[in-house]
Amino acid sequence: MTRRSVLVGALAVGAGAGAVVDRARPADPLPTLANGAGWRPRGSERAARAWLAAGRVPGEGVPDGLVAQALLDLHGLLQPNGAVLAGPARIWRYVWPRDASFVVVALAATGHVAQAWDTLRFLSQVQLPDGGFEARYLPDGSGPPDDRRRQSDGAGWVLWALDMARSASGARVVPVDLRPMRDRAASFIDHQTRGATTLPAASPDYWEVPERAVTLGTIAPMATGLGAAARMHAAEGSSSEAARWSRAAERLRGLVVGEFGPSYNRYGHSGGLDAATAMLLPPFADDAHPEATSACSRYSVEALRPAGGLAPGTGWRADGVSWTPETALVAYTAAATGRRDEARRWLGWLAAHRTAWGSVPEKVRPDRRAAGPAPLAWTAALVVLTAHELDRMA
C-alpha cells in the first residue's frame, strides 16, 4: 500500500475518549472537569468496597490509595450487562472496544474474572459480522451512537484482552462461547492486511481523528492481536491454527518494522512520535526491540507537557495539556520491561494529579488543574496494570 498524505486540518474527537479539537484552528480555551465527585450512584459505596475486597489490590509501594481508587472507579463504570463506560460524563458514557479491552485485562489480573468475561461477552455481542468493531457503542449494546468512522485497532485489542484474561484467570483456554469472536477478529485483521502482507486501509486510532494514512496506532495492535490468536489456539491444542496465526503475526511485525522503523513515527517516516511506540513493547510484544524502545523513550521526552505528563504525540496540538492515558501507557510498558523506577515515577505523577475525590482525570492542564472526565476507564485500567506488572516483575 502506498502512503498517503496525512490529514492535518481535520476535525477530531479526543485522544482516546476525549474532547472535540481542531488542530487547524487556534487553541480552544483550556478544558475543565466534566463531572464532580457525585458521579457514582447513591448507596453504591458498600457494594463497591465488598467487590474490592473480593479481589486483589496490586502495587506494593505505589502511592497510597491510587490503585484501590482506580479499581473502585472501574467498578463504578461497569454496567450490569458487561459494558464499561469510558467515563462518567456526557460524551464519554459509551463503550470503546479499546478502553474496554484494557479494563478486561485489569479486572482479570486482580481476580475479578467473572466481570472480565462479562465485558468480553458484551463485546462479542456488538462485534460486526466482518469481525471488526465500531469506534464506540451505546452501553445497552444497541449499536453506535453516531456515524463516527470505525476503528480497525479494536479487533487487535480485543484479541489481546482475550488472551491476557485467559492467562491471568488461570484458565487454559478461552471459554467456548467467546471463540467465535476471537476467530472473527483474527480473520478481520487477516483480510484487512491481505494475509499480513500489506498495510490495512487508513483508520482512526486512539487519537480519534480522521486519517488518510495508516498509523502505528492501528497496525501495532493488529500485530499484537494475531500473536494473541496464535497463543490461544496453541493452548487449545490446535497446532495448525496456532502455526497459521503465529506466521501471520511474524509477517505483520516484519511489515511494521519495514514500513515504520527505524524511527517509528506516527506515519512511519512522518508525523512525529506518539504513544503508539509503547504498543511495540512488552506486554504487547514478546520482547523489547532496541529501536522501538528508543522511539518510546524519545516520545516520553519530546511529548512532555508543562504539568509533567505527556501529549498523545509530538504532533498533537500545542495547548500544553497532559493526557493521562498516554502517560499511563508509557508507565505500563516501563513496568513490563523492567524499568521500575520510570514506571513508579509516572505513577507518582498520576497520583499527584488526582481530583479531590481521588480519581485520575483524563487530562491535566498546564496549570496542573484536572480536566475532562474523572475517572477515565482507560487510565484507571492502566494504573492497575502498571501496579500489577511492578508486583510481577519484583
The answer to whether 386 touches 343, Cβ cutoff 8 Å, is yes
Is the Cα torsion angle 315, 316, 320, 322 positive or negative in sign?
A: negative
pTM over 0.85: yes
Residue 165, CA atoms < 13 Å, CB-side half-sphere: 29
Cell triple for 346 = 509516572
Stated as kind and residue range, the H or E segment containing 322 is strand 322-323
The answer to whether 127 touches 133, Cβ cutoff 8 Å, is yes
Residue 230, CA atoms < 13 Å, CB-side half-sphere: 17
Backbone φ and ψ for 309, nearest 5 degrees, come out as: -95, -165
The answer to whether 37 touches 357, Cβ cutoff 8 Å, is yes
Coil/strand/helix, residue 371:
strand
Compute the distance between CA of residue 146 and CA of residue 224 in angstroms, rounded to an integer.
Answer: 28
Is the Cα torsion angle 101, 17, 223, 346 positive or negative in sign?
A: negative
List Cβ<8 Å contacts ≥24 apart for 294-303: 295/263, 295/264, 296/330, 296/333, 298/273, 299/273, 299/274, 299/275, 299/330, 300/330, 302/272, 302/273, 303/273, 303/274, 303/275
Cell triple for 325 = 492515558
* Residue 276, CA distances (Å) to 96, 201, 281, 325 in order: 17, 17, 10, 12
Compute the distance between CA of residue 48 and CA of residue 72 in angstroms, rounded to an integer.
Answer: 6
Identify the burial level of 147 via C-beta atoms within 10 angstroms of its C-beta, where 0-12 means exposed, 13-18 middle and 19 or more buried: exposed
pLDDT by residue for the chain (394 residues), tens only, comes to 333 223 333 333 345 553 333 333 345 689 999 999 999 877 788 999 999 999 999 998 898 899 999 999 999 999 999 999 999 998 999 999 999 999 999 999 999 999 999 999 999 999 999 999 999 999 999 999 999 999 999 999 999 999 999 999 988 999 999 999 999 999 999 999 999 999 999 999 999 999 999 999 999 999 999 999 999 999 999 999 999 999 999 999 999 999 999 999 999 999 999 999 999 999 999 999 999 999 999 999 999 999 999 999 999 999 999 999 999 999 999 999 999 999 999 999 999 999 999 999 999 999 999 999 999 999 999 999 999 999 998 8
Going by the DSSP 8-state scheme, the letter that residue 268 receives in this structure is B
Identify the burial level of 142 via C-beta atoms within 10 angstroms of its C-beta, where 0-12 means exposed, 13-18 middle and 19 or more buried: exposed
Compute the distance between CA of residue 104 and CA of residue 116 in angstroms, rounded to an integer.
Answer: 5
